[in-house]
């Protein structure tokens, strides 16, 4: 998929785990484990340009030049399916704040409908990772990024697992400054707004609600 702001992971572990995730035979427990592991691998790549400040420490043998993270990072899962991507990334960056945003897709129009947002008035983070395994029409991602920009966050990254070309086009057009970190770009969207071949409904497969 073209676009200088679209990063599709080339990591063999990502390809291996994504294949297991797609497989209809993968049951809910395993599905959740894979979402968590894939989120960590992609989150690691997405956080490669976090800013550091110098932070020297004393070792048992003397002084060592070192670093610590400079920016406050927000993890922003889009409910519901993004929830499974939080824990693994949060473990790697325990100081991150988690801000949930609820959007569901209207089944008829496929437009995102906002139903949960408890962001405080003033922004409390400098960088946000929007987490959602599926980028279909792109409506949910654009809406979430709109909310974060209106909140006052200027550095935003989207971390997803599978995207449709149609959705990538929509998000990169609306928010050309937001990099997309993905495990795969699939073939197309079907008439119901599902990614083909995709993996089905990522929310239902995580939470056993199919």
Collapse the DSSP code of 141 into the 3-class scheme (helix H, G, I; strand E, B; otherwise coil) and give the result: helix
Number of residues counted as binding ligand PRP (CB under 6 A): 22
H or E stretch at 116: strand 112-117
Q: Which residue reads 């070792």 in tokens?
A: 59
SS3 track for 161-196: CEECHHHHHHHHHHCCCCCEEECEECCEECCCCCEE
135 touching ligand PRP, by CB under 6 A: yes
Active-site residue set:
105, 109, 201, 204
43 touching ligand PRP, by CB under 6 A: no
186 touching ligand PRP, by CB under 6 A: no
206 touching ligand PRP, by CB under 6 A: no
203 touching ligand PRP, by CB under 6 A: yes
- Considering only residues 69 through 128, tell me which ones interact with ligand PRP, judged by CB under 6 A: 78-81, 104-105, 110, 112
- Contact in structure between 196 and 162 (CB atoms under 8 Å): no
- Contact in structure between 29 and 202 (CB atoms under 8 Å): no
Closest CB to ligand PRP among residues 53, 210: 210
Q: Which residue reads 């003397």 in tokens?
A: 62
Collapse the DSSP code of 38 into the 3-class scheme (helix H, G, I; strand E, B; otherwise coil) and give the result: helix
HSE of 110, CA atoms in CB hemisphere, 13 A: 14
Closest CB to ligand PRP among residues 17, 100: 100
Binder of ligand PRP out of 43, 77, 167, 198 (CB under 6 A)? 167
Binder of ligand PRP out of 73, 140, 147, 178 (CB under 6 A)? 140
Using CB under 6 A, which of the segments 23-31, 37-45, 60-68, 197-205 binds ligand PRP? 197-205
**Residues found near ligand PRP in the complex (CB under 6 A):** 78-81, 104-105, 110, 112, 132, 134-141, 167, 193, 201-203
């Amino acid at each position: 998929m073209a676009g200088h702001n679209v990063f599709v992971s080339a990591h063999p572990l990502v390809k291996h785990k994504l294949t297991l995730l797609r497989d209809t035979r993968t049951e809910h427990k395993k599905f959740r484990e894979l979402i968590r592991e894939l989120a960590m691998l992609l989150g690691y790549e997405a956080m490669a340009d976090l800013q550091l400040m110098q932070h020297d420490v004393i070792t048992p043998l003397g002084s060592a030049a070192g670093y610590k993270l400079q920016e406050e990072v927000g993890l922003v899962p889009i409910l519901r399916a993004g929830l499974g991507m939080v824990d693994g990334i949060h473990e790697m960056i325990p100081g991150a704040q988690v801000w949930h945003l609820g959007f569901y897709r209207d089944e008829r129009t496929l437009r995102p409908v906002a139903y949960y947002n408890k962001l405080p008035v003033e922004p409390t983070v400098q960088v946000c990772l929007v987490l959602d395994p599926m980028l279909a029409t792109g409506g949910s991602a654009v809406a979430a990024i709109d909310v974060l920009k209106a909140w006052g966050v200027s550095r935003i990254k989207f971390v997803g697992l599978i995207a449709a070309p149609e959705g990538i086009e929509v998000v990169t057009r609306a928010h050309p400054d937001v990099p997309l970190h993905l495990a795969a770009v699939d073939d197309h969207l079907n008439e119901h707004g599902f990614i083909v071949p995709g993996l089905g409904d990522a929310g239902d497969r995580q939470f056993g609600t199919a």
